[in-house]
Amino acid sequence: MALKTHLVAFFAKAIDDPQIGTAHISLYLAIVSLWQQQGGKSPLLLFSKSIMKTAKIASSATYVRLIRALCEGGYLAYEPSFYKRIPSKIHVLPLDS
C-alpha cells in the first residue's frame, strides 16, 4: 500500500476512534516512517528507546500504553522481545479505507 493511501486510511479510522490521541498519532507516524524507509516490509525490528526518541515519548510506561492501544485498535501487531539486545517486532497492519 502506498504511503499516502495508508496515511489517509489511518486518519479516516483514527477520527472515529475515541482511544486515539495525539501521542498515539505521533508514535504511529514514527513507526510508519521507519516502515516506509524499509520498503514497507514487515516486521519492523525496533528498539523501544529509538522509536520513543523519534516520537518524542519520554516514558517507557507511556510507550507501552500507546503501543497497546494501537494494537487493540487494529493498527499494529506488536511482539515484544523483553530483552535489551533483541529488538521487538512490529507489524504495520493494512487498514481498510
What pLDDT score was predicted for residue 95? Answer: 87
* pLDDT averages per 10-residue partition of the chain, 97 residues: 85 93 96 91 91 95 96 94 92 83
Structural domains in the chain? Answer: 3-92 (1.10.10)
What pLDDT score was predicted for residue 1? Answer: 57
Query: In the structure grid, which three cell numbers stand for residue 80, read together?
Result: 515484544
pLDDT in tens, 85-94: 999 999 999 9
What pLDDT score was predicted for residue 42? Answer: 84
- Neighbour-count burial of 15, counting CB atoms closer than 10 A to its CB (0-12 exposed, 13-18 middle, 19+ buried): exposed
